[in-house]
Chain A
Amino acid sequence: MTDVNRYQEAVAAGMLPSEENHRALLQSIVDVARAIFGAEASSIFLLDRDTDELVFEAVSGQGEGDLVGMRIPSSTGIAGWVLVTGQPIVIDDLQQDPRFARQAAEQTGYVPKALMAVPLVNGETTLGVLQVLDRARDRAGSIGEIDLLILFANQAAIGLDLLQTARRARSVADTGDGREAVVARIAALLEQTGDEVSGLRLLEALEAVLGRLAR
């Protein structure tokens, strides 16, 4: 990461809403997805590229409160297949698959009968997977269901991207060499003043002082 990137991340850490705000956004998305589909559960997985695992980031319904933070393999199972292939999928009669049933019971304690899963894509990057478990089946056709799920996936992908940006920014501010942390604190204070004009004047004055020093 260049110095410029590090300072940009530090400024972001001071000005971005907190991780809790982004988590609340993701939670809201799975809550609404669950309600719209009349489903037993909905969850968002984030791909952790460092460990090559999928991490539960938000859960609504079955498993809510227990599963956030739990990790599963990133390239096996149905969520792994969706992540790698980029293809949405709907599966019913899931309990017929003994391996899936066993793994689901071990990992989450809940074995769904049906699953909808769609990749969370932001630009070129696949960030994770959105799942809806055991939806109500008295709905319109399946193609319409997938189209609706994709709309939620677009929202979730934006939310995940913001969450990752905030985490990177926070990481730079927390682990930087001190200068970035100062920049982050100044940015945060400026944000708290709620007075953009004053903040900009302060920065312009600082730029002018630094400019004179540079000469």
Chain B
Amino acid sequence: MSGRVIPAWSLTAEAASTIGIPAEWPDRVTRDWAIGGATGEGVDVCILDSGVDGDHPLVGGLESAVAVHIDGDETTIVPDELGDVCGHGTACAGIVRALAPQCRLHSIRVLGEGNTGSGELILGGLRHAIEREFDIVNLSLSTTKRSFAELLHELADSAYFQGTVLVASAHNMPVESYPWRFSSVISVGSHEGSDSYEWYANPDPPVEFFARGVDVDVAWAGGSTLRCTGNSFAAPHIVGLSALVLSKHRDLTPFQLKSVLYLTAANTGGTE
């Protein structure tokens, strides 16, 4: 953030000349401009999931790992001493690492504390991720509880305005669920291709992008690798690709990042 004080609700004539934004956009946004030579260096990516096995060779280390803990009405953030209680978080971390080898990976574990209160765990984890101002948060999860929708919506908007990109896997079931449906979030479904650099913009949202999510070889708990399918593996592909874009173009807002992903999708002619 620039630190300049700008009125939140209006712009005086004097102030207008002080808020210039360096916008060095090419005549045509291409993949080469967007991610050519990028490694994800300097980008902080958070995996909000089942924990991450940082020692897995395909994950290659974690910068931080915490767990959300609920005691009565109080939600606290504690050091994660369990690691991955399922394997899925490690899978997401491995997918991101393979695409953006130099990014910094963080884990917030929201599973393993029992099912009761799982909505509060997800909310608490997301709130912490936003407070930490991570660049990108992977959300391979959703909740059907309407009582959480409003709070999740507020958090998603807070993330959007502060420049934290939320990438959520879309729900491919006929139920209302959140947060993937929010426009301040990048929502991802699966295509059946096998290229991790192949993604599509969806002309018919609310699912906004399709990325690789079928038969993906992923890191898993216990140092293993498994072959997996599901939208929850498509989201970390867009996370990894977003980390590449942001490592080259640090000042992009979530809105601009989404536009770059759109312009460089396989079905918009921006793949060169």
Question: Cβ of B112: which chain A residues have Cβ within 8 Å of it?
Answer: 75-76, 80
- For the complex, what is the distance from the CA of A210 to the CA of B222, rounded to whole Å? 69
The docked-state distance in angstroms from the alpha carbon of A96 to that of B214 is 18
A97 within 8 A of partner (CB):
yes
Determine which of B111, B172, B224 lies in contact with A96 in the assembled complex, contact meaning CB atoms within 8 Å.
B224
Bound CA–CA A126/B116 (angstroms) = 11
Query: CA of A146 to CA of B114 in the docked complex: distance in angstroms?
Result: 26
Give the residues from 105 to 156 in chain A that come closer than 8 angstroms, CB to CB, to chain B. Answer: 118-119, 121, 123-126, 141-143, 145-147, 150, 153-154
Is the pair B145, A124 in contact by a Cβ cutoff of 8 Å? yes
Contact between chains at A76 and B111 (CB < 8 Å): yes
Given A97-B87, A121-B175, answer yes or no on A90-B50 (Cβ-Cβ < 8 Å).
no
CB of A77 closer than 8 Å to a CB of B: yes
Q: Give complex CA distance A198, B63 in Å.
A: 73
CA distance A126 to B50 in the complex (A): 18
The minimal Cβ–Cβ distance linking B253 to chain A, given in whole angstroms, is 28
Partner of A86, one of B114, B177, B190: B177
Question: A58-102: contact bitstring with B at CB < 8 Å (1 yes, 0 no)?
Answer: 000000000000000011111011011111111111101111100
Contact B230 A84 (CB under 8 A): no
Q: Among the interface residues A84, A145, A150, which one has the most CB atoms of the partner chain B within 10 A? A: A84
Give CA–CA (A99, B146) in the complex, Å: 35
B111 touches A84 (CB 8 A): yes
Q: Mark B224-242, 1 if CB is under 8 A from A, else 0.
A: 1111111110000000000
- Output the nearest chain A residue to B148 by Cβ-Cβ distance: A124
Asked whether A97 lies within 8 Å of B226 as measured between CB atoms, the reply is yes
- The answer to whether A91 touches B173, judged by C-beta atoms less than 8 angstroms apart, is no
Residues of B with C-beta under 8 A to A91: 226-229
Say whether B232 contacts A74, CB under 8 Å. Answer: no
Query: Is B104 engaged at the interface, CB distance under 8 Å to the other chain?
Result: no
Instruction: Known A75-B85, A98-B222, A99-B221; judge A85-B142 contact (CB<8 A).
Output: yes
Q: Is the pair B232, A85 in contact by a Cβ cutoff of 8 Å? A: yes
B26 at the interface (CB under 8 A from A): no
Contacts of B141 in A (CB 8 A): 84-87
> Does B3 interact with chain A (Cβ within 8 Å)?
no
B29 an interface residue at 8 Å Cβ cutoff? no
Within 8 A of A (CB), among B91-141: 110-116, 118, 121, 140-141
Q: Bin the interface of chain B by size.
A: 35 or more
Determine if A93 and B225 form an interchain contact, defined as CB atoms under 8 angstroms apart.
Answer: yes
Q: Does B181 make an interface contact (CB < 8 A)?
A: no
B169 interfacial by beta-carbon distance below 8 Å: yes
In the bound complex, residues from chain B placing their C-beta under 8 Å from that of A125 are 144
Q: Which of A88, A98, A119, A141 has a CB less than 8 Å from the CB of B224?
A: A98
What is the minimal beta-carbon distance from B197 to any residue of chain A, in angstroms?
Answer: 19
CB neighbours (8 Å) of A154 from chain B are 174
B226's nearest neighbour on chain A, judged by CB, is A93
B76 CB → nearest A CB, Å: 17
A76-B86, A97-B221, A142-B214 known; A90-B115 Cβ under 8 A: no
Q: Which of A43-57 contact B (CB under 8 A)?
A: 47, 49, 52
**With A88-B172, A146-B230, A153-B173 as given contacts, are A97 and B220 in contact (CB-CB < 8 Å)?**
yes
**For chain B residues 156-201, which have a beta carbon within 8 Å of chain A?**
169, 171-177, 190, 192
Question: How long is the Cα–Cα vector from A123 to B177 in the complex, in angstroms?
Answer: 10
Provide the bound-state CA to CA distance between A86 and B144, in Å.
8
Q: What B residues does A99 contact at CB under 8 A? A: 87, 221-222
Quick check: is B271 within 8 A (CB to CB) of the other chain? no
CB distance from A148 to the nearest CB of B (A): 12
13 A-B pairs within 8 Å (CB atoms) are namely: A52-B114, A75-B113, A75-B118, A78-B87, A86-B144, A87-B169, A87-B231, A91-B227, A93-B225, A96-B220, A98-B224, A123-B175, A142-B229
Known pairs A80-B112, A84-B110, A143-B190; list 20 more (Cβ under 8 Å).
A52-B114, A75-B85, A76-B50, A76-B85, A78-B87, A84-B115, A85-B88, A87-B231, A87-B232, A89-B229, A91-B226, A91-B228, A93-B225, A96-B224, A97-B222, A98-B224, A124-B144, A141-B192, A142-B229, A150-B173
